Amino acid sequence: MLRKTFTAPAKINLCLHVLGRRENGYHELAMAMQRVDLYDDIQIELGGEPGIRVVCPGLDLADGEENIVSQAARILLAEAQVETGVHIEIKKRIPIAAGLGGGSSDAATVLLGLTELLKINITNDRLRVLGGQLGADVPFFIFKQPAWATGIGTDLVALPSLPEVAYLLINPRIAVSTSGVYQSLQLTKGGELASLPRFSVVTRDDLCAALHNDLESVTLQRFPLIAEIKQLLLNQGALGSLMSGSGATVFGVFTDFAAAQRAADQLSGKKDWLIAPVRPV
């Protein structure tokens, strides 16, 4: 048996613009995305009878085609024309339906992990194409660097160096349906990528000025607690705060990890919330 554990990072959206809706139902987006060091652990074991099994202690996963991690393993084995048993165990730390891309990151990590374990000769570009079949965020996690994402989120360009900051993530254990948020978004008219202000960030002040999320107009209306958390972070010294993705996770921008940790300590009485100081990766 061949076995190895890989880490799957969360992501935050530093900005998220929804430019319009395509005929196929997908939305035209422009986003700045950053991975952070809140990780799921993905243990992959190869060997035995062909077949894919995914377990996640404490979480009921959908079977078969509905399970994005199973789909990732199936797509990679088909691409490599390999038959082997694959057993995947996920230790979740990233909340589900939280705007942090946990499922997409897990799927990307399975694609990368199986490529390594099976010693498959495949380009990163091809892996991103395969990842795009699973979900719009999956290619970003294969890209492995801060990115400006356009199209449905799969067209990626590396961002220049971002200022040194730390973030404090807060998730109040509210699960938010991404599809539900997009369906409720009122688009006044189709926007154009060329009309957007360029995501040009040099200083921490630049970063905070660029924070923007069109989806807040829907999620904050449904869950006013999210707006309260944004203000709570500012009250604790955050330079700026924003909801990530479709929510419900909110992050605050801090000068360094120690400042983020101090704010986390002040908020530690919220026992049922995820409160996690993190660094960019």
DSSP letter string, 52-102: EEEE-TTSPPPPGGG-HHHHHHHHHHHHHT---EEEEEEE--SPTTSSS-H
| Mean of pLDDT over the chain | 91
- Tokens 């605050």 found at: 252
Same fold, 2-158 and 166-278: no
Q: Look up the CATH number of domain 2-158.
A: 3.30.230.10
pLDDT of residue 24 exceeding 80: no
Q: Give rounded-to-5 percent helix, strand, coil for the chain.
A: 35, 30, 35
As a whole-number percent, the residues of the chain with pLDDT over 90 amount to 76
pLDDT band at 63 (very low <50, low <70, confident <90, very high): low
pLDDT of residue 68 exceeding 80: yes
Q: Residue 127: what pLDDT?
A: 97
pLDDT band at 266 (very low <50, low <70, confident <90, very high): very high
pLDDT band at 65 (very low <50, low <70, confident <90, very high): very low
Lowest mean pLDDT among 136-150, 224-238, 262-276: 262-276
Q: What is the mean pLDDT of residues 84-97?
A: 94
Q: What is the mean pLDDT of residues 96-101?
A: 92
Give the catalytic positions in this structure: 11, 137
Q: Residue 64: what pLDDT?
A: 47
Beta-carbon contacts of 86 under 8 Å, excluding residues fewer than 6 positions away, are: 44, 45, 46, 51, 52, 53, 73, 77, 114
Task: Give the start-to-end residue ranges of the domains of the chain.
Answer: 2-158, 166-278
Q: Look up the CATH number of domain 166-278.
A: 3.30.70.890
Q: Residue 168: what pLDDT?
A: 98
- 65/250: higher pLDDT: 250
- Rounded CA-CA distance 162/13 in Å is 13
pTM above 0.85, yes or no: yes
pLDDT of residue 48 exceeding 80: yes
- 84/59: higher pLDDT: 84
Q: Residue 62: what pLDDT?
A: 59
Q: Residue 61: what pLDDT?
A: 66
Q: What is the mean pLDDT of residues 179-189?
A: 76
- Rounded CA-CA distance 53/9 in Å is 22
Q: What is the pLDDT of residues 116-163, one digit of tens each?
A: 999 999 999 999 999 999 999 999 999 999 999 999 899 999 998 899
